[in-house]
Homo-oligomer: A and B are copies of this chain.
Amino acid sequence: MGTSNGGDDDDTLCPIAHSTGLVGDRWSILIVRELLMGQTRFQDLQAQTGATSQMLAARLKRLEADGLVARRAYSQRPLRHEYRLTPKGVHLMPVILALRAWGESWCKPAGGELAIRMFHRACGAELDLNGRCPACKTLVAWTDMQGRPTAAYQTERARRAAEFADHRQKSTSPQSESRS
Contact = CB atoms under 8 A, between A and B. Distances in A.
Contact of A20 (B18, B99, B108, B115): B99
Interface stretch (A26-34, A57-65, A171-179): A26-34
Main SS of chain A's interface residues? helix
The oligomer's copy count stands at 2
A22 B107 contact: yes
Contact of A103 (B19, B104, B114, B152): B19
A15 interface: yes
A33 B12 contact: no
Nearest to A94: B98
Interface string A111-138: 0111100000000000000100000001
Contact of A141 (B18, B33, B112, B139): B139
For chain A, which range describes its interface: under 10, 10 to 19, 20 to 34, or 35 or more residues? 35 or more
Contacts of A107: 15, 18-19, 21-22
Contact of A24 (B25, B92, B97, B113): B25
B18 A26 contact: no
A20 B23 CA distance: 11
A94 B88 contact: no
Given A13-B153, A14-B115, A24-B25, 5 more contacts: A13-B152, A20-B26, A21-B26, A88-B106, A139-B139
Interface of A: 7, 10, 12-22, 24-26, 29-30, 33, 88, 91-92, 94-109, 112-115, 130, 138-141, 150, 152-153, 156
